[in-house]
A and B are shown apart, each in its own frame.
Chain A
Amino acid sequence: MAGNFRTHDEDGAFDTMTLDEYLVENREATFMMRARGEGLSDRGILDGDLLLVDRSREPRPSDIVVVVENGSFSMKPASSIAASLDGETRVEAVVTAVIRKY
């Protein structure tokens, strides 16, 4: 399904895109989460970061995914769970953006 990008044509001179349009590909399937823990700092995700996650995207090995573990949401590299994926663990969403304000 194509993302619902809308562009604003300013006096027909040039198109601009809002930040949501840049960050959100499938609006219906995108949710916000807060990163907790430093376990993915080597992948550029720090404690307290805002995350955008997309439930509709098929995970690729290079993605960070959100799964449910012991009743709470966990983030993991998709490559690390592919091997241990049993019937119970399901990928809830794929992390599509990290937002950090300084």
Chain B
Amino acid sequence: MKRRAGKLIMHLDGDAFFVSVEAVKNPPLRGKPVVTGKERGIASALSYEAKKLGITRAMPIFQIRREFSQVAVVESDYESYAIFSRRMMDIVRRYTDAVEEYSIDECFADFSETPGFADNFPEGARTILAQIKADIRKELGISVSLGVGSTKVLAKTASKSSKPDGLTIVTEDFREALLDKTPVDKVWGIGSATAISLRKKGVSTALELARKSEDWVRENFSKPMVEMWHELRGTSVRPVGEGGEDQKSIMKTRTFVPASSERAYVFSEISKNLENACHRARELGLAAREFSVHLKTREFSYARNWCRLGAASNNPAEIIPEARKLFDRIFVPGTLYRATGVTLLGLIREDACQDDLFGASRDSRAVSGIFKAVDRVNRRYGRNVVRLASSERAFAREEREEKREAKKRSEFLPNGFSRRLSVPYLGDAFSRNPQGSLYKKGSKYYI
């Protein structure tokens, strides 16, 4: 047993995460080639079996259907992915409090202080990591790949090096072997332009970069590359944040009672969710590159739609026209809806936003300034005194309900009683009739 000094950081990566979640909910998909993204018309996530067939991300669905008829194409269900994601992170939190949710299917966790991890390295560490994998497999039904090293870059390189269902520990003996088989463009944080520039200077693997002198790196590159060099050599310069800042999605949903089939009202709920989500993004200094809207009917059925924005934004006035288009394509007249939601995805730091080809985000930044002012007014005079006209009806209804609820609560309910049960729905569970006869599900019969 030996005590290991310095940091020990884990990177967790969900294996084909979206598709794996679909397979938990829908058993016939297990072990089959599956793609998600039916609602967008292009593949957004693939199972390993689908990758093996040669299908790639962003391939058009019509092409997949034509060339690979055996592939199951399903709609993305961002709400389920978000719930599975949160549960996956919460399982990691059983073992350490220092968890940073890096994206919907990835997190970093600092295990430096976890008893039995650093003080019994690597054997004790391996036992704890195997337990985390077993918990996630048993409780959520999905597999993950784990990497552990003394820095975030090493941990992430390790988790990527063995997938799916991998468990890779970067001991000092193993570090150079791992970096030797990692091309520079596969290193987290090295973009394709930087990789080309490195290759021109004769550096094509992560190991070759790590073996350069610090002076060489300083002379040829800027500060982030110097940090990268330290991280590759095992000196941690990027600490594990405690989530929040680096999150990659923000979801706002609300259930309304009674359910409504009125187009204008249901859209006002979307608009309000969007405003709330953008407000949260501004608080965190983040902007979204993608977003999705969903509608939920009274019968637990969902409709979703997704789009990519021309330029990253946290400005609801700018996103609303896109949301309107998505909404119009999924709203079915005459259907009673009970909830709507908006998810901001592909979040990046506001200050890192790039202008789109047409410079549209420059205007957007001016409008973003307006919303910062709105945030200040709302902070001062109460939540949402200033809001988009398109959200008006939803806000007004919520306020009426809140007043009514507060009154009811003050009469006979203790606080916190009405917290909503957020348990994911897996669908139907059948039981055979005693007579062995058929049972009915909707219009279909099963033996």
Chain A contact residues, CB within 8 Å of chain B: 1, 8, 10, 16, 18-20, 23-24, 26-40, 45, 47, 51-53, 55-56, 66, 68, 71-76, 92
List 17 additional contacts besides A56-B135, A75-B429; criterion CB under 8 Å. Answer: A16-B417, A27-B90, A31-B424, A32-B426, A33-B427, A35-B428, A35-B429, A36-B428, A36-B439, A38-B431, A47-B439, A52-B423, A53-B426, A73-B428, A73-B430, A74-B429, A74-B430
For residue A54, which residue of chain B has the nearest CB?
B139
Known contacts A20-B419, A51-B429, A66-B429, A72 near B424 by CB under 8 Å? no
Which residue on chain A has the smallest CB distance to residue B413?
A: A16
Minimal Cβ-Cβ distance residue in B for A23:
B421
Q: Give complex CA distance A38, B430 in Å.
A: 9
Name the residue on B nearest A20 (C-beta). Answer: B421
Question: Can you pick out 6 interface pairs between chain A and chain B where the beta carbons lie within 8 Å of each other?
Answer: A18-B419, A24-B421, A26-B139, A27-B87, A52-B423, A74-B430
Q: A37-B439, A38-B439 are in contact. Are A32 and B425 (CB under 8 A)?
A: yes
B138 within 8 A of A: yes
Tell me which residues across on chain B come within 8 A of A24, comparing CB atoms. Answer: 421, 423
Q: Which of B392-447 contact A (CB under 8 A)?
A: 414-417, 419, 421, 423-434, 439, 441, 446
Q: Is B2 an interface residue (CB 8 A)?
A: no
Query: Residue A56 contacts which of B138, B421, B441 (CB distance < 8 angstroms)?
Result: B138
Q: Which of A29, A33, A36, A38 has the most CB of B within 10 A?
A: A36
Q: How far is the CA of A72 from the CA of B417 in the complex (A)?
A: 35
Interface size on B, residues (CB 8 A): 32
Closest 9 CB pairs of A and B: A39-B431, A29-B139, A71-B28, A37-B439, A37-B431, A39-B432, A68-B27, A40-B431, A28-B87
B440 CB to closest chain A CB, in angstroms?
Answer: 8
Quick check: B419 and A55 within 8 Å, CB to CB?
Answer: no
With A and B bound together, what is the CA distance between A23 and B427 in angstroms? 19
Of all chain A residues, the one with the shortest Cβ separation from B141 is A55
A10 to B413 alpha-carbon distance, docked (Å): 11
Interface centre among B141, B421, B430, B441 (most CB of A within 10 A): B430
- Please report the C-alpha to C-alpha distance between residue A70 and residue B426 in the assembled complex, in whole angstroms: 16
Residue B140 CB within 8 A of the other chain:
yes
Q: How far is the CA of A73 from the CA of B428 in the complex (A)?
A: 7
Q: Is B94 an interface residue (CB 8 A)?
A: yes
Instruction: Select A29's contact among B28, B140, B433, B441, beta carbons within 8 Å.
Output: B140
Given the known interface contacts A28-B87, A56-B139, the answer about A45 and B431 at a Cβ–Cβ threshold of 8 Å is yes
CB distance from A68 to the nearest CB of B (A): 4
Contact yes or no, B419 A38, CB < 8 A: no
Interface string of B103-128 (1 = CB under 8 A from A): 00000000000000000000000000
Give Cα A91 to B87, complex, Å: 21
Asked if A28 contacts B140 (CB within 8 A), the reply is: yes
Query: Contact: A74 with B140, CB < 8 Å?
Result: no
Chain A neighbourhood of B446, CB < 8 A: 72
CB distance from B259 to the nearest CB of A (A): 16
Per-residue A-contact encoding for B22-57, CB less than 8 Å = 1, 0 else: 000001100000000000000000000000000000
Cβ of B91 < 8 Å from any Cβ of A?
yes
Please tell me if the beta carbons of B27 and A73 are within 8 angstroms of each other in the complex: yes
B141 touches A76 (CB 8 A): no
CA A34 – CA B439 in complex, angstroms? 14
Query: Is B140's CB under 8 angstroms from A36's CB?
Result: no
- A residues in contact with B135, CB < 8 Å: 1, 28, 56
A41 to B91 Cα, complex, angstroms? 35
Given contacts A36-B441, A68-B27, contact A31 B90 (CB under 8 A): no
For the complex, what is the distance from the CA of A28 to the CA of B427, rounded to whole Å? 18
B416, B421, B428: which contacts A72 (Cβ < 8 A)? B428
Q: Chain B 80-107 against A: per-residue CB contact (8 Å), 1 yes, 0 no? A: 0000000100110010000000000000
A32 and B430 contacting across the interface, CB-CB below 8 Å = no
Contact A72 B27 (CB under 8 A): yes
Residues of B within 8 A of A28 (CB): 87, 90-91, 135, 139-140
Q: Are B27 and A71 in contact (CB under 8 A)?
A: yes
Q: Which residue of A lies closest to B432 (CB)?
A: A39
Residue of A nearest to B442 (CB): A36
Q: How far is the CA of A35 from the CA of B429 in the complex (A)?
A: 5
Q: Do residues B431 and A74 form an inter-chain contact, with CB atoms below 8 A? A: yes
- Which B residues are CB-close (under 8 A) to A1? 94, 135
A91 CB, min distance to chain B CBs, angstroms = 11
Give every chain A residue within 8 A of B433 (Cβ-Cβ). Answer: 37-39
A16: B residues at CB distance < 8 A? 414, 417
The CA of A68 and the CA of B425, in the complex, are separated in Å by 16
Residues of B near A8 (CB, < 8 A) are: 414-416
Q: By the criterion CB–CB under 8 Å, are A73 and B431 in contact? A: no
The CA of A64 and the CA of B90, in the complex, are separated in Å by 27
Chain B residues within an 8 Å CB radius of A30: 423
B442 to chain A, nearest CB (A): 10
Once bound together, how far apart are the Cα atoms of A68 and B27, in whole Å?
7
List the A residue with the shortest CB-CB distance to B441. A36
Closest-by-CB residue of B relative to A19 is B421
Known contacts A55-B138, A55-B140, A68-B27; A73/B426 CB under 8 A? yes
